[in-house]
């Protein structure tokens, strides 16, 4: 008997090798998650030797499509129409389904942000195209998949160019790599604040293509009453360079005054929180960082009285510099913080504020400035 290992037949799932980002606009600006997805999408498109494109739906989009080219898109597909001024599920769904159906070969990959809009649209698109969708990814890659399951003989083979949609699972203790090689487009939503955007390059060249907007009467089954842009303007966690977060170690709701005072020592800063303090009612949910809250990637993250549970860590571990203040030297947060201060936060934070205000804390400040630059 020969010991030769039989090579699996290569199976190419039909696609046009295009990676498409479904872009989002908020209040006249491209959402940061769209720029982040262009960074991730560029890498995937290069690995596929394909092209990267982005859709943009809205009204009076002006120069926004050009901005997407500067951030890595080869083609921007634009649906600019008064009827698309505000996001509505059925109108946007219609435009995107018409667009995605228009290719002779389907796009290889379609990515959306794990935002309210992305989470609303993605399953509708995936269901329409009867394709797989992985939600809330934190990593993406391209690679081969060997399907050897003899129970499924017609599918046995080597599938190159699979989207590796990677996301935490089992309470964020494991990373699951989820594949859907049978059909393109392969789809995923990606958490905001995770992927790295490309450097802006205003000399980059790309194409802008107009999409036709053919809405049907049944697309207007809902009426938009009001658009509320931000619940609380002071919470700007996604864009803050420095985030100071408070945990249950604060002991009381008033402790957040101190957290805010420390945050105010920095330019472009914001305050965050752990889930335990949100659940206790000390601070509203929109401040929560972690698995069931926001994912952030500031230049500096200062965790005060936070134990560093895995569910909190997944929301902030990609921060540039992590500083932890905790009275327990064995707190898990010290295992991943870059700098740790062991002690009572009610003694340490006022001293830090005093030092920052009198500008004596040059060391940390310089380090922080270096990271912000």
Ligand X SMILES: Cc1cc2nc3c(=O)[nH]c(=O)nc-3n(C[C@H](O)[C@H](O)[C@H](O)COP(=O)(O)OP(=O)(O)OC[C@H]3O[C@@H](n4cnc5c(N)ncnc54)[C@H](O)[C@@H]3O)c2cc1C
The answer to whether the Cα torsion of 25, 26, 28, 34 is positive or negative is negative
The reply on whether position 114 binds ligand X by CB under 6 A is: no
Residue 331 binds ligand X (CB under 6 A): yes
Q: What angle do CA 180, 175, 116 make, to 5 degrees?
A: 70
275 binds ligand X (CB under 6 A): yes
Closest to ligand X by CB, 74 vs 172, is 172
> Which residues have CB under 8 Å from 185's CB, separation 6+?
15, 20, 100, 106, 107, 108, 109, 110, 129, 131
Query: How do 321-326 and 300-304 pair as beta strands?
Result: parallel
Binder to ligand X among 274, 287, 295, 299 (CB under 6 A)?
274
- Of these, 290, 296, 297, 300, which contacts ligand X (CB under 6 A)? 290
Q: What is the 3-state secondary structure (H, E, C) of 313-354?
A: HCCCCCCCEEEEEECCCCCCHHHHCCEEEECCHHHHHHHHHH
In angstroms, the CA 177 to CA 159 distance is 15
Give residues 121-180 in contact with ligand X (rule: CB under 6 A).
171
Shorter beta-carbon distance to ligand X: residue 53 or 274: 274
Applying CB under 6 A, the site for ligand X has a residue count of: 29
Of 339-358, which residues contact ligand X (CB under 6 A)?
344-346
Distance CA 368, CA 300 (A): 7
**Which range touches ligand X (CB under 6 A), out of 10-18, 83-91, 263-271, 305-313?**
305-313
Among 91, 138, 288, 319, which residue interacts with ligand X (rule: CB under 6 A)?
288
Pick the closer one to ligand X by CB: 61 or 331: 331
Nearer to ligand X, 206 or 290 (CB): 290
Distances, alpha carbon 155 to alpha carbons 145, 184, 305, 309, in Å = 11, 15, 52, 41
Q: Within 239-258, which residues bind ligand X (CB under 6 A)?
A: 247-249
The single residue among 163, 243, 306, 352 that binds ligand X, judged by CB under 6 A, is 306
Q: Which of 16, 311, 317, 355 binds ligand X (CB under 6 A)?
A: 311
Structural contact between residues 121 and 93, judged by C-beta atoms closer than 8 angstroms: yes
Q: Decide whether 309 or 322 has the Cβ nearer to ligand X.
A: 309
Q: What is the DSSP code (8-state) at residue 74?
A: S
Point out which residues bind ligand X (CB under 6 A): 171, 247-249, 274-277, 288-293, 305-307, 309, 311-312, 315, 325-328, 331, 344-346
């Amino acid at each position: 008997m020969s010991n030769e290992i039989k090579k699996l037949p290569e199976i190419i799932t039909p696609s046009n090798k295009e990676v498409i980002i479904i872009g989002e606009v908020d209040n006249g600006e491209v959402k940061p998650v769209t720029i982040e997805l262009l960074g991730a999408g560029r890498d995937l498109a290069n690995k596929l030797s394909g092209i990267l494109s982005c859709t943009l739906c809205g009204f009076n989009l002006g120069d926004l499509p050009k901005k997407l080219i500067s951030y890595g898109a080869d083609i921007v597909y634009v649906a600019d129409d008064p009827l698309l001024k505000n996001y509505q599920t059925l109108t946007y769904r219609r435009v995107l389904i018409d667009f995605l159906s228009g290719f002779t070969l389907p796009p290889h990959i379609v990515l959306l942000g794990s935002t309210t809009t992305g989470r609303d649209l993605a399953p509708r698109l995936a269901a329409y195209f009867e394709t797989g969708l992985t939600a809330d990814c934190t990593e993406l890659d391209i690679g081969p998949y060997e399907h050897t399951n003899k129970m499924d003989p017609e599918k046995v083979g080597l599938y190159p160019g699979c989207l590796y949609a990677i996301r935490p699972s089992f309470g964020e203790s494991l990373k699951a790599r989820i594949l859907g090689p049978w059909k393109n487009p392969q789809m995923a939503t990606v958490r905001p604040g995770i992927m790295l955007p490309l450097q802006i390059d205003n000399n980059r060249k790309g194409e802008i293509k107009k999409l036709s907007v053919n809405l049907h009467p049944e697309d207007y089954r809902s009426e938009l009453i009001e658009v509320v842009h931000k619940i609380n303007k002071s919470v700007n966690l996604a864009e803050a360079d420095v985030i100071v977060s408070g945990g249950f170690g604060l002991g009381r709701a008033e402790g957040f005054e101190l957290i805010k005072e420390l945050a105010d020592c920095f330019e472009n800063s914001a305050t965050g929180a752990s889930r335990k303090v949100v659940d206790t009612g000390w601070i509203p949910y929109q401040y929560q960082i972690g698995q069931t809250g926001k994912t952030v990637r500031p230049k500096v993250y200062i965790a005060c009285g936070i134990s560093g549970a895995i569910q909190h860590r997944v929301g902030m571990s990609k921060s540039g510099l992590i500083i932890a203040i905790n009275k327990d030297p064995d707190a898990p947060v010290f295992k991943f913080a870059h700098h740790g201060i062991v002690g009572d936060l009610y003694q340490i934070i006022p001293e830090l504020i005093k030092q920052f205000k009198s500008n004596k804390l040059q060391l940390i400040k310089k380090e922080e400035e270096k990271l912000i630059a």
